[in-house]
Amino acid sequence: MKKSCLSLTRRPGTALRPPYYTLRTDFSISFLDQALEYLGDDPTIPSAIGLIGLGDFQEEFASTLYEWKQSDYEEQWHYAMTSLLEGAEKVALMVYNVNPAESINFEWWPMYRVGDMVALQDHMPWYDQFADPFSIERQFDFVSDRRIANEDGQRISEWSVPLESVREFAISKDGFRQADLLTRRLADPLLQPRNHQLRHQSFHRTAQLKDLLYQT
C-alpha cells in the first residue's frame, strides 16, 4: 500500500516556518553529521537528517534512505544548482524521494530564478496531480510555476537568496566537493552511482562545471 511521506518529513520539535515572504542573504543545504534516525512505520528504514539554511532561517528535513543513499540526494542537489547556474528558470532540491509505485508524494524545495535572486519554497507534490507520469529523468519539468499566494489568497511561505549565494555555496568546500566526487566517479567505473538516471542527467556536465561555477 502506498504511503504518504508527510508523516516522515516533520520531526518532533522542528520549528515551523513563518507564513510570510522574507529576504535572506545566504544559502546552504547539507546532511548533518549525526546518526541516522528511524522515523517511519518501518523500523528498518533509516532517514538521514539534513538542514537547509536560507540566511538566518534554518529548517531540518528527514530524507528517507529507502531508495536513495545520501550521496544520491547530494548529487541531485548538485545537478539542481548547476542547472540553475546554467540559466534554468526553475529547479528543485529533492529532500524526500520514494518512487510513485510505493509512495503517493515526495518533498522538494523548488528554486525559482528571479533576476539576480533565487526564490525558494517547500513543496510536497502528490504524484497523481501531474498530467504525465513523474520521471526523475525529466524532474524539473514537474516543478510547478512560481506562485506567491494560494487559492484562498494567503501568502505562500517563500525565502529569497541572491543567486551569487548559491554560486558561492557550490564552490565552497562543502558544496563544491560534489563536483570533485563526480569527476572521480567518471574516471573510475567502480565508483559509478547506483542511480543511473541521475548519472545521465548530471555527469555529462562535469567537464564544464568548474569553469561555470568560477565565472564572475
In CATH, what number is assigned to the domain containing residue 178? 3.30.2450
In a domain, 31, yes or no: no
pLDDT grade for 119, boundaries at 50, 70 and 90:
very high
Domain that holds residue 72: 68-132+153-213
**pLDDT at residue 158 in the model:** 96
Q: How many domains does the chain have?
A: 1
Q: Give the pLDDT of residue 100.
A: 93
Residue 62 counted as domain residue: no
The C-alpha cell that represents 101 in the structure block: 509505485
In a domain, 196, yes or no: yes
Contact 199, 98 (CB under 8 A): no
Which range, of 12-26, 59-73, 87-101, 106-120, averages the lowest pLDDT?
12-26
Residue with the bigger pLDDT between 91 and 6: it is 91
Residue recorded with cell 541531485: 76
Mean pLDDT of 157-162: 95
Residues 6+ apart with CB under 8 A from 118: 27, 84, 111, 112, 160, 161, 162, 163, 165, 166
Q: Which residue type is seen at 40?
A: G
What is the reported pLDDT for 98? 94
Asked if residues 55 and 194 have their Cβ atoms less than 8 Å apart, the reply is no
